[in-house]
């Protein structure tokens, strides 16, 4: 078994641990936010963590009615012309806590007087030291190059912060069910082999919307970095604005979603793509309507849509792993990569 697959399997335990350990940190963040009353959140991140930032844009937007901006790190580093951030709470997400560009954003935000938060797996890292407050992911060492457990832990940290700002009993109960739901996702590992034949490359499109746009981005990245399938994610809306021209008969398209307000958009695009004889496969959590697809793996975790990016990320990791195995690629040794990428 690869390290990647081992770490995928640790996610129920990582989530359960984070639910226990993060409470003081997220309560401290909520308390400081009640004083500071920020006008917006600015999030700095790279790679998978950037998709966690996209998730927060939807989660903080809908649950907390908060505006979220994703930072452009090169304004802080290469150009040395950072925007004014007064009134914003600035969050840096980095598994290693060693990304110089994420650290640069947090340091600039601190010197502008912003409340700063680090979300990292390394509680002693430079990022953690630079921030006012830290959520330590406590996920244990992540040795596989493609991130898995630190990704879902980052999403869960965001959900816990959102809940601490605007507590809600139903959401609290749903959060408590996350570890079991991730366990249920793991049970579908072998079923994902039904989706793999469509995704053996050299290219694929991954489509999501709303909360699971972040999941589509993350699954596309996982396929790209573990299986060398050039996978490109789009929201249904952006896809229909132009890129849909790329598909023809046999073109592989993976749809990722849950029940909820955007489910009918996914159904609509599935029908349209079936009309072009594309190879449509689906990854779902929830009982949305039937979908025209060659193969679908469906979990019914019972989680609200807001938390399905966690279960669906696990399914996407497992899928990328199965595709890599089918292609005889070692997922622990992606070409040309080291675990910590120190971009500036």
* 68 makes contact with a second copy (CB under 8 A): yes
**Selected binder of a second copy within 230, 250, 289, 300 (CB under 8 A):** 230
Please state the separation of Cα 331 from the chain's center in Å: 19
Q: How far is the CB of 135 from a second copy (least distance, A)?
A: 21
Asked whether the beta carbons of 253 and 247 are under 8 A apart, the reply is yes
Please identify, among the stretches 13-21, 37-45, 192-200, 308-316, the one whose residues bind a second copy according to the rule CB under 8 A. Answer: 37-45
**Selected binder of a second copy within 143, 241, 271, 289 (CB under 8 A):** 241
172 C-beta neighbours (distance < 10 Å), count: 11
Q: How far is the CB of 184 from a second copy (least distance, A)?
A: 25
**Any idea what the Cα angle at residue 4 is, between residues 187 and 309, rounded to 5°?**
55
Q: Which of residues 98-137 bind a second copy (CB under 8 A)?
A: 101
Q: Label residue 287 exposed, middle or buried (CB < 10 Å: 0-12, 13-18, 19+).
A: exposed
Please identify, among the stretches 76-84, 164-172, 175-183, 283-291, the one whose residues bind a second copy according to the rule CB under 8 A. Answer: 76-84
**Selected binder of a second copy within 27, 86, 124, 271 (CB under 8 A):** 86
Cβ contacts of 234-240, under 8 Å, gap ≥ 24: 234/205, 234/206, 234/207, 235/207, 235/208, 235/209, 235/210, 236/207, 236/208, 236/209, 236/262, 236/265, 236/266, 236/268, 236/269, 237/209, 237/265, 239/205, 239/207, 239/269, 240/269
Q: Which of residues 38-57 bind a second copy (CB under 8 A)?
A: 39-40, 42, 46-48, 50, 57
Number of residues near a second copy (by CB under 8 A): 75
CB within 8 A of 2, min separation 6: which ones?
144, 321, 330, 331, 332
Rounded-to-integer distance, Cα 5 and Cα 331, Å: 9
Q: How far is the CB of 218 from a second copy (least distance, A)?
A: 11
Residue number, 28 or 64, with CB nearest to a second copy:
64
Residue number, 226 or 296, with CB nearest to a second copy:
226
Q: Which of residues 249-278 bind a second copy (CB under 8 A)?
A: 261-262, 265, 272, 276
Rounded-to-integer distance, Cα 117 and Cα 130, Å: 9
Q: How far is the CB of 16 from a second copy (least distance, A)?
A: 27
Locus of tokens 């940290």: 157
Q: Which of residues 166-225 bind a second copy (CB under 8 A)?
A: 202-203, 205, 209-210, 221, 224-225
SS3 content of the chain, % helix, strand, coil (to 5): 50, 15, 35
The 302-331 contact track toward a second copy, x by CB under 8 A, reads: ------------------------------
Give the alpha-carbon dihedral of 166, 169, 174, 179, to 10 degrees.
Answer: 90
**Selected binder of a second copy within 70, 98, 259, 295 (CB under 8 A):** 70
**Selected binder of a second copy within 15, 85, 161, 256 (CB under 8 A):** 85
**Selected binder of a second copy within 21, 34, 78, 250 (CB under 8 A):** 78
Asked whether the beta carbons of 94 and 142 are under 8 A apart, the reply is no
**Selected binder of a second copy within 30, 32, 83, 123 (CB under 8 A):** 83
């Amino acid at each position: 078994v690869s390290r990647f697959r081992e770490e995928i399997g640790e996610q129920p335990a990582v989530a359960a641990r984070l639910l226990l350990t993060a409470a003081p940190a997220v309560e401290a963040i909520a308390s400081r936010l009640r004083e500071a009353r920020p006008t917006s959140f600015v999030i700095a991140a790279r790679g998978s963590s950037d998709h966690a930032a996209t998730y927060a844009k939807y989660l903080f937007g809908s649950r907390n009615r908060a505006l979220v901006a994703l930072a452009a790190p090169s304004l802080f580093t290469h150009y040395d012309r950072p925007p004014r951030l007064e009134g914003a709470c600035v969050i840096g997400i980095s598994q290693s806590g060693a990304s110089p560009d994420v650290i640069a954003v947090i340091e600039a935000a601190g010197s502008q007087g912003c409340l700063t938060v680090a979300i990292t797996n390394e509680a002693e890292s430079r990022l953690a030291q630079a921030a006012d407050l830290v959520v330590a992911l406590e996920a244990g060492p992540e040795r596989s190059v493609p991130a898995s457990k630190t990704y879902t832990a980052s999403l869960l940290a965001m959900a816990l912060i959102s809940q601490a700002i605007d507590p809600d009993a139903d959401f609290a109960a749903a959060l408590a069910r996350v570890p079991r739901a991730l366990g249920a996702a793991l049970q579908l590992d072998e079923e994902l082999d039904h989706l793999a034949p469509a995704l053996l490359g050299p290219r694929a499109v991954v489509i999501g919307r709303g909360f699971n746009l972040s999941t589509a981005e993350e699954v596309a990245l996982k396929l790209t970095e573990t299986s060398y399938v050039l996978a490109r994610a789009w929201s249904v809306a952006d896809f229909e604005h132009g890129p849909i021209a790329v598909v023809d008969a046999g073109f592989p398209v993976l749809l990722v979603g849950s029940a909820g307000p955007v489910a009918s958009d996914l159904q609509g695009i599935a029908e349209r793509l079936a009309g072009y004889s594309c190879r449509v496969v689906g990854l779902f959590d929830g009982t949305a309507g039937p979908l025209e697809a060659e193969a679908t793996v469906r979990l019914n975790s019972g989680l609200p849509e807001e938390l399905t990016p966690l279960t669906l990320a696990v399914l996407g990791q497992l899928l990328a792993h199965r595709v890599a195995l089918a292609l005889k690629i070692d997922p622990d040794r992606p070409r040309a990569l080291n675990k910590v990428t120190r971009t500036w």
